[in-house]
Amino acid sequence: MIPMVNLKAQYADIQDEILGGFAETLDNCAFILGPNVQAFEKEAAQYLGVKHAIGCASGTDALHLALLAAGIGRGDEVITSAFTFIATAEAIKYVGATPVFVDIDPATFNITPENILNAITPKTKAVMPVHLFGQPADLPAIKAICDRHGLKLIEDCAQSFGATVNNQQTGSFGHAAGFSFFPSKNLGCFGDGGLVTTHCDETAAKIRQYRNHGSDVRYYHDVVGYNSRLDELQAVVLRAKLKRIDQYNAARRHAAHLYSELMADLPLTTPYEDGVGVHVYHQYTLLCERRDEVMKALQDRQIACAVYYPVPLHQQNVFKDECAGLSLPVTESVAARCFSLPICANLSDETVKQIVGVIRGVFQ
């Protein structure tokens, strides 16, 4: 079986370092907001080029806390994508705001500056672009719109750890950003974990409070907060992987480029790179009119493949009433034709060639 992500192979390379860190943590029993969480927050802030990085329990929580600290709430509108994982919109709903879904670019699968501009109303308070599949959204243009219209830019970086635009990290452009460390992410831990980044001291202080029961000083509570701390053992894993993230992302890019080169002559649309943003290929996602046939051929040969995402958010049961009548033609067309192939930091050239061989067979 060829999995979407080979986490076992990645673990084998760093096992000693992780088990050593676990043993130390079990020994000192500093399980909650201990030395590894504190060190990881500093190391991640430095890597990402932000003033503050605050660990929390998941990527969903990271987005929720970022919106909360930015003061987004009831009656506010947040412009975002419908072609994303549900958590993007859930976070907006958690603070009582309304997600306003706009259409995507057919090449990058990200929301476009033009569509964002057209969706701004007096209620719009924030824009939440998703750097989908590791491809950065058009951040310079989106940031310019946010600055001009007094909107908060809150990036969903769940899939984009290490992706850059003009050599600047995603997650460092806006008011705040949320990252996910779900195991299969480019930087993944061994369970759930997340991170909020911001340059703003006040926002960082609020997020630190919110993630820890509304408290700065133990047993003194200023606001109703949450139990959303990054786990100390997960921070051990993340510190080991953060040191290697550039190598992991380079390996993903290498595999992606080999896929694209080997499939250049096939009737498929391979991923687009604009040359400005550096795509870190959280997913390697293609468009194909004969998606079902290709996926069946892969599955028949024990090669994993998946559709991210088959139903855009405006058509999901949870949103279909509030989005009645909304048409997002590019999103809908992409969702009907997209599928993703295995990609990770441990995918060999041989395996890429084997997978392409199976796909080629469908078109012969």
Name the segment binding ligand PLP (CB under 6 A); options: 55-63, 242-250, 295-303, 337-345: 55-63
Check residue 88 for interaction with ligand PLP (CB under 6 A). yes
Among 40, 47, 83, 85, binds ligand PLP (CB under 6 A): 85
Residue 188 within binding range of ligand PLP, rule CB under 6 A: no
Query: CA–CA separation, 18 vs 240, rounded Å?
Result: 7
Nearer to ligand PLP, 50 or 130 (CB): 130
CA angle 266, 269, 274 (to 5 degrees): 130
Residue 58 makes contact with ligand PLP by CB under 6 A: yes
Q: Which two tokens stand for residue 255?
A: 């595999």
Strands (E), the chain: 52-56, 77-81, 98-102, 124-128, 152-156, 164-165, 168-169, 176-180, 194-198, 215-217, 220-221, 277-278, 284-287, 338-341
Q: Helix (H) and strand (E) counts for the chain?
A: 13, 14
Q: Which stretch binds ligand PLP (CB under 6 A): 84-92, 133-141, 168-176, 223-231?
A: 84-92
- Nearest approach, Cβ of residue 91 and ligand PLP (Å): 8
Question: Virtual CA dihedral for 309, 164, 3, 184, nearest 10 degrees?
Answer: -80
CA 70 to chain centroid: 20
- 320-339 positions binding ligand PLP, by CB under 6 A: none
Query: Please, what is the minimum distance in Å from the beta carbon of residue 201 to ligand PLP?
Result: 25
- Residues 352 and 346: beta-carbon distance below 8 Å: no
Q: From its phi and psi, is residue 134 left (phi > 0), alpha (psi between -120 and 50) or beta?
A: left
Strand 98-102, strand 77-81: pairing? parallel
Q: Is 280 one of the binding residues for ligand PLP (CB under 6 A)?
A: no
**Among positions 84, 108, 172, 331, the unique one binding ligand PLP when judged by CB under 6 A:** 84
Which of 180, 212, 249, 283 binds ligand PLP (CB under 6 A)? It is 180
91 vs 204, beta carbon nearer ligand PLP: 91
* Residue with Cβ nearer ligand PLP (60 or 198): 60
Which of 224, 241, 199, 204 is closest to 56 using CA atoms? 204
Site membership for ligand PLP, residue 59 (CB under 6 A): yes
Q: 263: number of CA atoms within 13 Å, CB side? A: 30
Query: Which residue in 44, 87, 100, 128 binds ligand PLP (CB under 6 A)?
Result: 87
194 binds ligand PLP per the rule CB under 6 A: yes
CA-to-CA distance for 333 and 157, rounded, in angstroms?
A: 24
Q: Which tokens belong to 260?
A: 């694209």
Which residues does residue 278 pair with via DSSP β-bridges, in sequence order? 164
Task: Pick from 6, 25, 60, 108 the residue near ligand PLP by CB under 6 A.
Answer: 60
Kindly state whether residue 249 participates in binding ligand PLP, applying the rule CB under 6 A.
Answer: no
Residue type at 142 in one-letter notation: I
Instruction: Give the length of the chain.
Output: 364
Stretch that binds ligand PLP, among 56-64, 114-122, 141-149, 316-324 (CB under 6 A): 56-64
**Closest residue (Cβ) to ligand PLP?**
59
**Candidate segments 36-44, 83-91, 249-257, 293-301, binder of ligand PLP by CB under 6 A:** 83-91
Which region, judged by CB under 6 A, interacts with ligand PLP, from 57-65, 110-118, 242-250, 313-321?
57-65
Pick the piece of the chain touching ligand PLP (CB under 6 A) from 7-15, 103-111, 151-159, 339-347: 151-159
Instruction: List interacting residues with ligand PLP (CB under 6 A).
Output: 58-60, 84-85, 87-88, 130, 156, 158-159, 180, 182, 192, 194
